[in-house]
Amino acid sequence: MASIPPPISCRAYAKINLGLRVTGERTDGYHEICTVFHRIELFDDIVLHASDAITVHTTDPAVPSGEANICHAAALMLRERLDLKTGVRPGVHIEITKRIPVSAGLGGGSADAAAVLRSLPALWGKSLPEDDLRALALGLGSDVPYFMGDDSALGKGRGEILEYFRLDVPFAILLCTPPVQVSTQWAYSRIVPRPPERLDQEDLRSVLLRGISDPLLLCEHLVNDFESPVFLEHPLVRSVKESMMRDGALFASMSGSGSSVYGFFHDTDAARRAAAPLESLNYRTFITPPHFRV
């Protein structure tokens, strides 16, 4: 009888968006975007246990366990793609210790799904070409392909046309998620896409590589098109950005379609000082030290 493979543990890191422009509306219901995805030191822990069936359990009651979880869909897609049938129906029990806030612009569910796609083939003693994995990833969501790699990336198209690059952020990053959940679909419905202007000459990646240490340049070039509609609907989110700017942020922005806001600070102590008033309101905060990389 074949022995049971040992469990596989992995981390699913959250992302922030450094700039996010919505540049066009497509005929398939999606929008064209231009953004830079960047990982922060905030992660869900995922453990994959060999099992007969596909089951999912999460520690956060706000995140569904079972079939409604995106990780369930990821495992199912993978099993079908690997064509593992009859007699050998490998399953997996996916245990997710959730830390990444949900519907918060941090790609938490997408990061979890990508972690499953990346690690599950090994548990089943299989492998898949990178291109096949990326196709499965896009089938799960527009942000999932980004999480199949580890570096920062310039993202275009739906977010799946990716150019990875190493970005060293020399600042401490304070992240704050106020008690507001924003539906991505709703946020897109509030946007009037604008074709790129300046981006034509210099893309976000070049701006970041040239100016990551220059907060004035970041303030000028890194725009998140979702801020206007989300700030209008949820003034609380705007107040988080204002609080960070008042308390010493060199640059601050909302991530994705919100509601999380991040700020760049000279060092971890400065980020901690800016976090204090937000924590006193019971908002969740996380600090990523300078030069962090996955």
**Given 16, 18, 33, 173, the residue binding ligand C5P (CB under 6 A):** 33
Q: By C-beta, is 29 or 129 nearer to ligand C5P?
A: 29
185 binds ligand C5P per the rule CB under 6 A: yes
**Given 11, 23, 24, 30, the residue binding ligand C5P (CB under 6 A):** 30
Please give the Cα distance from 273 to 292 (Å, whole number): 20
User: Which residues are tagged catalytic?
Assistant: 15, 143
The answer to whether 50 touches 26, Cβ cutoff 8 Å, is no
Q: By C-beta, is 185 or 280 nearer to ligand C5P?
A: 185
Please give the Cα distance from 30 to 75 (Å, whole number): 25
Please give the Cα distance from 183 to 45 (Å, whole number): 24
Q: By C-beta, is 58 or 142 nearer to ligand C5P?
A: 142
184 binds ligand C5P per the rule CB under 6 A: yes
Q: By C-beta, is 191 or 219 nearer to ligand C5P?
A: 191
Query: Minimal distance in Å, beta carbon 161 to ligand C5P?
Result: 11
Q: By C-beta, is 23 or 51 nearer to ligand C5P?
A: 23
Kindly determine how many residues on this chain lie close enough to bind ligand C5P according to the rule CB under 6 A.
Answer: 12
12 binds ligand C5P per the rule CB under 6 A: no
Q: Which residue is nearest to ligand C5P (CB)?
A: 142
Angle at 179 between CA 178 and CA 183, to 5 degrees: 100
Query: Minimal distance in Å, beta carbon 63 to ligand C5P?
Result: 15
**Given 158, 190, 266, 272, the residue binding ligand C5P (CB under 6 A):** 158
Which range binds ligand C5P by CB under 6 A, 30-38, 44-52, 66-74, 212-220?
30-38
Query: Minimal distance in Å, beta carbon 31 to ligand C5P?
Result: 4
Which range binds ligand C5P by CB under 6 A, 141-149, 192-200, 236-244, 278-286?
141-149
Chain residues in the site for ligand C5P (CB under 6 A): 29-31, 33, 141-143, 158-159, 184-185, 188
